[in-house]
Structure 1
Amino acid sequence: MNTALNELEQLSLGVMAQVLLHTQALPLQVWRNAEQVNQALGTAARHAWVVRRWLVALGGAGLLREAGERVAWRTPPPDPQLGELPRLYGALGFPASMARLHTQVIECLPDLLRDQFTLTHLLMLGGDPVKVLSAYQHNHFTATINQALADRARQISAADGQLRVLELGGGAGGTTDAVLAALQACEKDYRFTDISSLFTGAAHRQFRLETGMQFGLLDLNRSFSGQGILPGTQDLVIAGNALHNARDLPYSLGQIRSSLRDGGALLFSESIADNPAMLTFMHLLLSPAADAPLRPHDEAFMAADAWDLALQATGFELLEVWPRACEPLAAAGQRLFHAIGV
């Protein structure tokens, strides 16, 4: 899997290079800064951060040389072989639809970056968006992280015999499915939430027969108590690849801490670094809406040490980060965090 992951990342670096070269945003033997590259490409303001992250990734791979804020090609990679995507996605455990969708996105990247149409529009053309995003989460790495999260959820004790669980940003339900299986024998009050009724509705259809289930909308960026989550009522809060969507992370972590009883647990999974493949694909969904404030910084994901500091500052103690950097699974850049409220 790690060999396939490395090949997919190298192919994606080639995609970035191809876009920058073929659009003349960064021609050979020309020095430009990030603003000039975005201007030459015609990038929409909300997506400019993506192209800046491309330049960081290409530089990190040794394909660009730097002089102050300007970059130029050191050695551009060969054109990417898009025909390899089905094999690589298959090796990583994704359904075949993901390779087809990524190929389609790559072919439209300049237009997507210019906001001539959106990735959301492209996903809608692919059918049910919940199924599309479910396919994105269906891979060996994410499945292993979800199972590890579920195993730790099984070990959490309830304050009064009934385990009260709040899931944030439940999305297509991949984390939910694993956790519910682990808690099957447990008396629970499990509240599935998401910011979109598209996902809460799909979750209701999928999990409505599970005992103790509730479904509702919840915005990470607003007061939890104002959305029906009373302080100190939860034994466990779960978030599968959702907390990076918080616009003000200290505020959102503070709301999570407030919702937990003392000693209650927070289990969440997050990417801790950019993935070149996703920078040419799903990262476009992380750009703000056209009428929303621009991102305050370019990095969508935080390193594990930064998460530790953020958790400490908001009343948590970080007990575990898994997998450790030395373990093979760590190559995917996903981590499971286990913290408790203190």
Structure 2
Amino acid sequence: MNHELARLEHLSLGAMAQVLLTTQALPLQATRSSAQINQALGTTPRHAWIVRRWLAALSRAGLLHGDDGHLAWHGTPPEAAVDDLPRLYAALGFPASMATLHARVIAQLPALLRDQTALAPLLFEAGEPVAVLGAYQRNRYTAAINAALGERARQVEAAGESLQVLELGGGAGATTAAVLAALDGRAMDYRFSDISPLFTIAAQRQFRLEPGMSFTQLDLDRDLVAQGVDAHGLDLVIAGNVLHNARDLRRSLGHLRACLRPGGTLLFSESIADNPAMLTFMHLLLSPAEGAPPRASDEVFLSAEQWRQALLDEGFELTGLWPTDDQPLAAAGQRLFQAVERGQ
């Protein structure tokens, strides 16, 4: 499985190289800065960070080299073997629709970066949004992370008669399903939330017969208590691949802590590094809206150590991190974090 993951990453680096070469943003034998590359490509300002992450990924792979902020090709740029996407996605456990969609996005990358077309309509043409996001989340790596998260949720003790659970950014419900399976038979109050009514309504249809379930819209960037969550009343907060969306991570962690009882548990999954495949695909959704302030940093994902420090600064102790770097599942760059509230 890791061989196919490496092939997908190599193919995606080839897609980046193809865009830079065919648009003459970075021709062979040329030397240019990232600003010059974005200018030559015609990248809209809100997507310029994506191209800079491409250049960083290509440099890490040894395909670009340079000094004083100027880059040139090193060796022969790889080709984007898009015809291999169906085999690779199938081997990684994704639905076939994801390979088709990624190929369409790769074909339109220059137009997407210039805002001549948008990613969201492409995604929705492939199916309704909840189904598309669900397909994106259905793969062997994410399934393993969600299963492990569910097992750790099962071990959390309730302060009262029933386990008080809040899930943030539940999206298409992949994490929800894994946790509910693990908690089957437990007395609990489980509050599914997302910022979008699209997902809360879909979750209500999917999980309405589960005992103890409720559904609501919550904004990670706003005070959760002010949005109706009881202060210090939760045993467990769950966030599946959502905390990186916080505009101010430390403030959002403070909001989470204010909802947890002393000694309560925070379980969340996150990527800890760029993924070349996603840099040519779903990461385009992470660009700020047109006219909004630019990203404060090109870095989307924190390292495991940065997460540990951020948690510590906001009153949490990191008590678990899985998989470890030496385990095969670590190759996907996803990690499961377990933290406890250290006392109000």
Structure 1 residue 91 corresponds to structure 2 residue 68: no
Q: Which residue of 2 aligns with 1:176?
A: 176
Structure 1 segment 184-333 matched on structure 2, within 5 A: 184-333=184-333
* Cα distance, 1:66 vs structure 2: 1.1
Q: Which residue of 2 aligns with 1:146?
A: 146
Give me the whole-angstrom Cα distance separating, in 2, the residues matched to 1:199 and 1:118: 21
Structure 1 segment 67-82 matched on structure 2, within 5 A: 67-82=67-82
Give me the TM-score of the superposition, normalised by structure 1.
0.99
Q: Is the 8 A contact 1:263 1:341 kept in 2?
A: yes
Give me the whole-angstrom Cα distance separating, in 1, the residues matched to 2:84 and 2:236: 42
Q: Which residue of 1 aligns with 2:102?
A: 102
* Cα distance, 1:275 vs structure 2: 0.3
Q: Which residue of 1 aligns with 2:16?
A: 16
Give me the whole-angstrom Cα distance separating, in 1, the residues matched to 2:261 and 2:97: 42
Deviates more, 1:116-125 or 1:306-315: 116-125
* Cα distance, 1:260 vs structure 2: 0.2
- Which residue identity lines up with residue 301 of structure 2 in the other structure? F
Deviations 1:264-310 (A, max 9, x none): 00000000000000000000011111132110000110000000000
- Which residue identity lines up with residue 298 of structure 1 in the other structure? D
* Cα distance, 1:77 vs structure 2: 2.4
**The residue matched to 2:310 in structure 1 has which SS?**
helix
Give me the whole-angstrom Cα distance separating, in 2, the residues matched to 1:119 and 1:43: 15
* Cα distance, 1:172 vs structure 2: 0.5
- Which residue identity lines up with residue 114 of structure 1 in the other structure? R
Structure 1 residue 118 corresponds to structure 2 residue 118: yes
Q: Which residue of 2 aligns with 1:26?
A: 26
**The residue matched to 1:216 in structure 2 has which SS?**
strand
* Cα distance, 1:78 vs structure 2: 3.3
Give me the whole-angstrom Cα distance separating, in 1, the residues matched to 2:286 and 2:75: 30
* Structure 2 alignment gaps of length 5 or more: none
Give me the whole-angstrom Cα distance separating, in 2, the residues matched to 1:234 and 1:45: 41
Q: Which residue of 2 aligns with 1:35?
A: 35
Q: Is the 8 A contact 1:170 1:239 kept in 2?
A: yes
Give me the TM-score of the superposition, normalised by structure 2.
0.99
* Cα distance, 1:230 vs structure 2: 2.0
* Cα distance, 1:181 vs structure 2: 0.7
Count residues in correspondence.
342
Give me the whole-angstrom Cα distance separating, in 1, the residues matched to 2:14 and 2:76: 8
Give me the whole-angstrom Cα distance separating, in 2, the residues matched to 1:106 and 1:80: 9
Give me the whole-angstrom Cα distance separating, in 1, the residues matched to 2:13 and 2:79: 10
Deviations 1:202-247 (A, max 9, x none): 1011001111111111111011111101210110000000000000
Deviations 1:115-162 (A, max 9, x none): 112111111111211101100000000000000000000000111121
Give me the whole-angstrom Cα distance separating, in 2, the residues matched to 1:304 and 1:137: 21
Give me the whole-angstrom Cα distance separating, in 2, the residues matched to 1:79 and 1:243: 34
Structure 1 residue 137 corresponds to structure 2 residue 137: yes
Q: Is the 8 A contact 2:13 2:78 kept in 1?
A: no
- Which residue identity lines up with residue 104 of structure 1 in the other structure? R
Sequence identity, in percent? Answer: 63
**The residue matched to 2:226 in structure 1 has which SS?**
helix
